[in-house]
Amino acid sequence: MTEFATRIRRATMAEHREAETRSFISRLMSGQVSYPGFAALTAQYLHIYRELEAAAASMRTDVIASGFADPALDRVPSLEADVAHLGSAAVQPLPATLRYVERLREHCHTSPAHFIAHHYVRYLGDLSGGLIVGRSVARTYGLGSGGVAFYSFAGIADPKAYKSAYRERLDLLPSVFSPAELDELVAESQLAFRLNAAVFAEMGDRHPAGMAAA
Ligand code: HEM
């Protein structure tokens, strides 16, 4: 790993640690979220990824951002199948989800730096901790492939290799973005973590610790 990938990882390390150890996701991993809570989280993700992937579609014509906007990452079809399976298709977005979606809508269709920041936070996370979370929730709620499609990437055979190639693309950004744009990207990735954290906090308020059984 060289410069820019290291920089963005370091800049979001504290936020990441918080997500790993204290958030709704860490409670989910220790089996302390009810089935409706898990189903509602999946519905929140669908609202978020619809906007993120609409932005990815806009970005496919951008010479820099298109390198990141790989359709093999798309989560919306999986999330639609999951919410149908889990019975949470009608769950409305939380206020924090609306704020996250609004931020994506405002900046990520037109600014490659903002788009890449949000893309990095979600998809590199999905290809890392997300795979571990997926195995854990499948076990907790006794789900086979239905309900947990979001957590696996049928189009990506080797997530580790994919992440290495992704980090190489991040490392090339200093040759195409100005220092100000790079700073903006780093700041936006920190904001993206905070927007996620706010969704987890509201999920936690609405779904206090309970038994995981379906
Ligand atoms: C309990 C929850 C989580 C666990 C156990 C976890 C675990 C991990 C692990 C083990 C890695 C390192 C993978 C590697 O080096 O290849 C990683 C990376 C990452 N995670 Fe998480 N994670 C969690 C939650 C999250 C959340 C909620 C987000 C964002 C919303 C996130 C975003 C990321 C990102 C962006 C990376 C890539 C860091 C980099 O190498 O640049 N993670 N995660």
26-78 confidence digits (pLDDT tens): 999 999 999 999 999 999 999 999 999 999 999 999 999 999 999 999 999 99
* CB of 124 shorter than 6 A to ligand 1: yes
* CB of 136 shorter than 6 A to ligand 1: no
CA of 16 to the centre of ligand 1 (A): 7
Q: Can you read off the two tokens belonging to residue 132?
A: 């571990």
CA of 127 to the centre of ligand 1 (A): 8
* CB of 33 shorter than 6 A to ligand 1: no
Q: How many CB atoms lie within 10 A of CB 47?
A: 19
Nearest Cα residue to 69 out of 83, 59, 79, 81 = 59
The number of residues in the chain equals 214
- Give the sign of the dihedral formed by CA 203, CA 69, CA 115, CA 126: positive
For ligand 1, atom 14, which residue shows the shortest CA distance?
128
Strands (E), 63-201: none
* CB of 125 shorter than 6 A to ligand 1: yes
212 confidence band (pLDDT: 50, 70, 90): low
pLDDT of residue 21: 83
CA distance linking residue 5 with residue 154, whole number of Å: 25
For ligand 1, atom 40, which residue shows the shortest CA distance?
9
The dihedral over CA atoms of 154, 73, 193, 33, expressed in degrees to the nearest 10, equals -30
Q: Give long-range contacts, CB 8 A cutoff, 24+ apart: 177-183.
A: 177/64, 177/112, 177/113, 181/113, 182/4, 182/113
pLDDT of residue 28: 94
Sequence letter at residue 39: A
CA of 149 to the centre of ligand 1 (A): 18
Phi and psi, residue 210, nearest 5°: -155, 180
* CB of 128 shorter than 6 A to ligand 1: yes
SS3 12: coil
Q: Rounded to two decimals, what is the model's pTM? A: 0.95
Rounded to the nearest angstrom, the gap between the alpha carbon of residue 197 and the centroid of all alpha carbons in its chain is 11
CATH numbers and ranges of domains, the chain: 3-206 (1.20.910.10)
164-211 confidence digits (pLDDT tens): 999 999 999 999 999 999 999 999 999 999 999 999 999 999 998 766
In a mutational test of the pocket of ligand 1, which residue from 10, 15, 16 has the highest number of ligand atoms less than 8 Å from its CB? Answer: 16
pLDDT of residue 211: 62
* CB of 20 shorter than 6 A to ligand 1: yes
